Amino acid sequence: MSTPARVRIVEVGPRDGLQNEKAVVPTATKIALIDRLSATGLQTIEATSFVSPKWVPQLADAAEVYAGIAKRPGVAYPVLVPNEKGYERARAAGVAEIAVFTAASEAFNRKNVNASIDESIERFVPVLARARADGVRVRGYVSTVLGCPYQGAVPLADVVRVAQRLHALGCYEISLGDTIGVGTPAKARAMLRAVAAEVPMQALAVHFHDTYGQALANILACLEEGVAVIDSAVSGTGGCPYARGATGNVASEDVVYMLEGMGVGTGVDLAKLIETGLWLSAALGRETSSKVARARAAA
């Protein structure tokens, strides 16, 4: 496979980015963030999660956030849903696209959703059936594809099996998550190749956290394998509260900058994205994790 001419960025900052914040981010800030992001040309913005507010208090205002965003035509605003209860809450809020999530590692899945991998997939069966009947698109996540904070190495066969199951259940796209950012390019490439042997590359996305500073290198390796959908978070926010040691996602600004340099189109206005990331980091009271934003701000 060769590098695609165009890539779709799935902006996960409002969800993955904000789920891990210590201080409660005001609902109005979340809404303003999503509206700023939709003005940059992004086509997919993961808005929030309809998970248990006891487990993730930071996103307890999911319905208010979803109601408050200005839905821009042509932009999808998927939300995370762990079970039927989450599906019902999401639908009551008017959500048109969801993402279900499980993992390749049993130990992590237990910590994250209090269930085995099989149990969590069983929970998705009625969710996917209802989504199909309701015309709701469903994305699927597989976490810990390159390592688990609790069990260590994760066999490739487990990643492939879980990705295949989500695809067979009807997820239109499977996002492969390096939850704790331990992957390196050759391993990322081998993982993607193994999954792509069973699930079409057009139905795959990659989701790298930058804990060990490997995310862009891993993305490049995966682009060379032909992946054309990349998850990232503006300002490099993010992390999973149930993955010990997980830090931010790769910064969207850095991904767009790299792709521009490679002549790969994204439809995203880099200057507007940088501005949004700097606005967010000011709102969160800390420096941006995007190197591109830092360099541009200094210039």
> What percent helix, strand, coil does the chain show, rounded to 5?
45, 15, 35
16 touching ligand HMG, by CB under 6 A: yes
16 touching Mg ion, by CB under 5 A: yes
140 touching ligand HMG, by CB under 6 A: no
In the complex, minimum distance from the CB of residue 234 to Mg ion, in angstroms, rounded to a whole number: 14
66 touching ligand HMG, by CB under 6 A: no
Q: How far apart are CA 155 and CA 278, in angstroms?
A: 39
The terminus-to-terminus CA distance of the chain in angstroms comes to: 37
For Mg ion, which is the closer residue by CB, 101 or 124?
A: 101
Largest pairwise CA distance in the chain? 52
Q: How many angstroms from the chain centroid is the CA of residue 131?
A: 20
In the complex, minimum distance from the CB of residue 290 to Mg ion, in angstroms, rounded to a whole number: 17
Q: What is the CA radius of gyration of the chain?
A: 17
Nearest to 238 by CA among 247, 225, 226, 251: 247
Strands (DSSP E) contained in 111-209 are: 137-143, 173-178, 204-208
- The dihedrals phi and psi of 208, each to the nearest 5 degrees, come to -105, 130
54 touching ligand HMG, by CB under 6 A: yes
Q: Which does 49 bind (CB under 5 to 8 A by kind): Mg ion, ligand HMG, none?
A: ligand HMG
Which residue sits closest to Mg ion, CB atoms considered? 16
Q: Which stretch binds Mg ion (CB under 5 A): 10-18, 46-54, 60-68, 124-132?
A: 10-18
Q: In the window 89-118, what residues touch ligand HMG (CB under 6 A)? A: 89, 101, 112-114
Q: What is the DSSP letter of 25?
A: P
Binder among 13, 14, 17, 82 for ligand HMG (CB under 6 A) = 82
Q: How far apart are CA 195 and CA 176, in angstroms?
A: 9
In the complex, minimum distance from the CB of residue 82 to ligand HMG, in angstroms, rounded to a whole number: 4
Q: What is the DSSP letter of 16?
A: I
Q: Which stretch binds ligand HMG (CB under 6 A): 22-30, 54-62, 152-160, 264-272?
A: 54-62
Contacts of 168 (CB under 8 A, 6+ apart): none
For ligand HMG, which is the closer residue by CB, 114 or 116?
A: 114
Q: Which does 124 bind (CB under 5 to 8 A by kind): Mg ion, ligand HMG, none?
A: none
Quickly count: other Cβ atoms within 10 Å of residue 137's Cβ: 16
Note if 222 is an active site residue.
Answer: no
* Angle at 260 (CA atoms; ends 238, 179), nearest 5 degrees: 25
Binder among 147, 177, 183, 248 for ligand HMG (CB under 6 A) = 177
46 touching Mg ion, by CB under 5 A: no
Which residues carry out catalysis? 240
User: Which residues of this chain interact with ligand HMG, rule CB under 6 A?
Assistant: 16, 19, 49-56, 80, 82-83, 85-86, 89, 101, 112-114, 141, 143, 177, 179, 207, 209, 240, 242
User: Which residues of this chain interact with Mg ion, rule CB under 5 A?
Assistant: 16
